[in-house]
Structure 1
Amino acid sequence: MNTSEALKELGLSQKEADLYLVSLQIGSATIFTLSRAANMHRPIVYKLVDQLIAKGVMKTSLDGKRRVYVATNPKDLVQIIKNKESALSEVLPELLALASSGSKRAKVLYFEGRDRLKDLFRTGLEAKSKSMYSYFPSKYMIELFGKREMEQIIDERIKRKIEVKTLRSRLSEEEFVGSEKTEEAYRQFKYLPDDQNLQMGIVIFDNKVNLFSPIKENFGLQIESEV
């Protein structure tokens, strides 16, 4: 890493680094002298000098009636870095607390269209806990996927040994003829009272809740929360 690149690592721009190095070489100088030595227009030098002073890498003083500028001693740059580290250390606990609170905010993803609803449903197959809770009328699932694809998804769930505990409505029930009827289906279910027939789906696993609108509305949500 060359000198200019090292200065940029300290937070200086390329032009700021160039002007600092020129100032370091020529010593105390006026804006006019700095401008000529750095081959920069004076308005730019004025702006850069103000920025360097604000960053603590250049100082200004009066030499008689002239205002002159001088680069901060390179050894003092180390102290500037230490001061920044100290300031960061003081606020680090507060920053970490903010980061922690931000990470606990619920994340909501929106899924629209039949293909995206299928993607949303399949996220349950990634359940790390190997457990799901759901309310999902079988007629809804068959209308969304078709029987063949629905059976494939059930087979995949059983293969991954993901247990599902589900509520169902007799009014929206349609029996599967495949793997879900076997004893190894990793499935427990109960029926809702006969007067309950929600036309939507809910799947809960890990720290996620998947919500499926009535099939005609064709959208879903996934809510993820650490709380």
Structure 2
Amino acid sequence: MGIEETLEKIGLDKKEAKVYLAVLALGETTVLPIAQRADIQRTYCYDILDSLAKKGFVSFMEKRGRRRYSGLEPKMIKDLLIRKISQVEMVLPALQALYQQTPTRPKVRFFEGREGIEIIHQEILREAKEVWFVGSIEDWAKRFPDYINYVKEQVSRGIKIRDLVKPKDKDALKYQHLYKKPRQEMRFLPEAVNFVTDNMLWNNKLAMVSYGADLYAIVIESTEISQTMRAIYETLWLAANK
């Protein structure tokens, strides 16, 4: 993973990452050299520098009527993130109380990109004692080449798994031997059944993942919807081939 991509993962957008790296490389300087090195228009660079200053990644001072910028020392980034985590932890009880105020209303969350799907994977590892899957392991493997490590982690945690996959799914067969019956089982859907999304059921949640041109997923948290999907799943399970 590149430096810019890592900076994006901790909260900077692409242009902010470029400008921050330019400031680091140049040392204390004015906006023009920063804009030139980052290949960004000077007028727009002011806005980006202001945004970075608010986030704590750059500082500035006035010298002889000109603003000069300096970048946050790289080893201080960790301290900056720790402080942000501490701030979140302070308000977490209040946020959780708001989140749980309407338990009867279905909660729907939308996730985009690889990072969004990985959030769902980690949520399943953290919460699930049992997870039911129906879809295509081949499609999953194309987007997540390290998928087998996730499967191994599920098995090592003793999560009960039931997988319904499309017939002749070669990637599914690669890890079927990892399963320890009866806690983990896999069956193959009839030829006539075709799911265009991957679907995961755990607790009272349903995740639906689309691997089309845009990678995205929705998670629905609802007892009623979960029960309905489980009834459909059970029907498919009985019709599937071992």
TM-score by length of 1: 0.49
Q: Normalised by the size of structure 2, how large is the TM-score?
A: 0.46
